[in-house]
Structure 1
Amino acid sequence: METANDFLPGFMERYNAKFAKVPRRSDNLHRTLNMAPDQLRDILCYRDERYVGNQLAFSYDRQRIILAENDITRGLPGKYVDSFEFADGRLEFRWKGLSLPYSTFDKDQRVTHAAITDNKHLSAVLEHIKAQQDKAPPKKHRAGKQRTRYEPTGRRNDGWNSKQAVAAKDKRAASQGSDI
């Protein structure tokens, strides 16, 4: 540890001498933050949209999110809600800026040894379930973002609108025009 601490100052001087650049202007051009910290927290998080089913439920990160039924959530089936996953691990789901109360159901629940010993009446059944779970490894998480909406690209290539079909149509029109 002492050798590394002795090496570091000299290394930093050599590194900065080799790669440092002089700024074009010497004055500080940073601007002050002109927004509320809450807005910045909402910007610096992972956001997505989720489709709410008829049972006021949807999936998020291998969990089933079940919205609490109230005046706001009764009208949400068939619509999209915004999901916010913050850096500290908190989840929040909003509809038009209003936070929605919810409960979660973990799809990857597994039987533990403690559950078998605590529940004497079901121990034989729980031991059988645990043996089955140990045989099958847990499912892997899907990679990537869930696509929630169709985004048209404006391109179609189903034959009638392809470049070759358009060129052939233009050629026929030109030849018909010259015959007249």
Structure 2
Amino acid sequence: MSERELQRIEVLSRVNERRMTSATAAGLLGVSARQVQRLMKTFLSEGAPALRHKARGRPSNNRILDGVRDFALELIREHYIDFGPTLAREKLLERHQLAVSKETLRKWMTEAGIWTLRRERKRRLHQPRGRRDCLGEMVQIDGSHHWWFEERGPKCALLVFIDDATGRLLHLRFAGSENTFDYFHAAKAYLQAWGKPLAFYSDKHGI
């Protein structure tokens, strides 16, 4: 038997053992789901040798490989568009019984424009944020946990309120840690001394 015929027998065996769906088999073999059902009927009633005659006039090995590639890429576009080749390969095997090597899948995804090699990925450009124009317009809030009193006291956090326009330190408060309760107390003291700014600003890791 040819390699294509052996592949067809292997795929139909998986369908018969319920390890592969007819839809997946159709994608692998490059035929319709109805044709898979006809092949299964022949396979079960007449055995594997009968498939040699059924294979005449069917697509070549290259066309079958193209069908596997197109089917795999279709699944990736529909279900795994944000996945890299390694994880996409695992999902294709786990959920669709489609076995493709990682390097082959990487090549297909790269050629299809789904995956970009790491060295070719464009670095994201971060536009620096400009300072505000007026004192008190926006106040930056930050905290730093440190041995501020050296060995004369415990390690503690310094909560800082900084004017964005001028960089001026407007309020400082020592606390046991950076926590919501102490930030609220510090904010209350700041508001009593300076009034309400248009905005408070903290980084994405802050409170």
TM-score (norm 1): 0.21
Q: Which one has the bigger strand percentage? A: 1
Q: Which one has the bigger helix percentage? A: 2
- Computing the radius of gyration from Cα coordinates, the structure with the larger value is 2
